[in-house]
Amino acid sequence: MLILASGSPRRRELLSLITDEFEILVSGCDEFVPEGTPAKKVPAILAEQKALAVAKLRPEDTVIGSDTVVVLNDEIFGKPKDKFHAHAMLKALSGKRHFVYTGVAVAEKGEVRSFVQKTEVEFYELSDETIEKYIATGEPMDKAGAYGIQGKGSVLVKGIVGDYFNVMGLPVAETARFLGLV
């Protein structure tokens, strides 16, 4: 059985574009990244931790873990702690290009393998009013970088270079190939 080690509704939706035959089992693992780890390597490390935590519970299954980070100037923008933090993140991203890295790890038969997909995203210049209106929707509060490209945050994005689904949290085409399903 294929298991997605994530409670993310977006990842569930994206994995269902590849296959309908999977279960959800949230890892709940303590995430740890060694100090000094380059930002672009962080999502693979976290994805592997999630996949391995669930694989310990279900060793006979194939487990997918995933993690997404937004990176600007080597600084990781995770999920905002509050509205003020969301505002600061969006202000920092305003008018700039940043990168979204998603790590995908597959644990099966006692082994784990992973890859990281990178997408470049450019934001329009954002006024404080635009940022506040977006934050008021509540959408940014559970998303890396404080925005969701697939939702109301789409109006912030000037353009992307790379995989759109990667920005949502799971690079669909690469994941399908990594699993050998395409």
Cβ atoms 14, 172 nearer than 8 A: yes
What local confidence, expressed as pLDDT, does residue 56 receive? 95
pLDDT tens-digit readout, 112-138: 999 999 999 999 999 999 999 999 999
Q: What is the mean pLDDT of residues 14-29?
A: 94
pLDDT greater than 90 at residue 163: yes
The number of domains in the chain is 1
What phi and psi values does residue 49 have, to the nearest 5 degrees?
-60, -45
Q: Are 154 and 167 in contact (CB under 8 A)?
A: no
The pLDDT value given to residue 28 = 84
Helices (H), 58-108: 83-93
What was the pLDDT predicted at 137?
97
What would the mean pLDDT of 11-39 be, rounded to a whole number? 93
67 is catalytic: yes
Beta pairing, strands 2-4 & 22-24: parallel
Q: Can you give the pTM of this predicted structure? A: 0.94
Q: Which domain holds residue 135?
A: 2-178
Residue 25 has pLDDT above 90, yes or no: yes
- Select from 40, 66, 45 the least CA-distant residue to 172: 66
Phi and psi at 24, nearest 5°, equal -110, 130
Q: What is the pLDDT of residue 29?
A: 84
Predicted confidence (pLDDT) at residue 30 exceeds the cutoff of 90: no
138-158 residue pLDDT tens: 999 999 999 999 999 999 999
- Give the CATH number, domain containing residue 106: 3.90.950.10
Kindly name the residue from 20, 30, 67, 142 that is annotated as catalytic. 67
Q: How many CB atoms lie within 10 A of CB 110?
A: 8
Q: What is the pLDDT of residue 27?
A: 87
Cα angle 113-114-120, degrees, rounded to a multiple of 5: 170
The closest alpha carbon to 93, from 124, 117, 68, belongs to: 124
Amino acid 23: pLDDT:
97
Residue 75 reports pLDDT greater than 90: yes
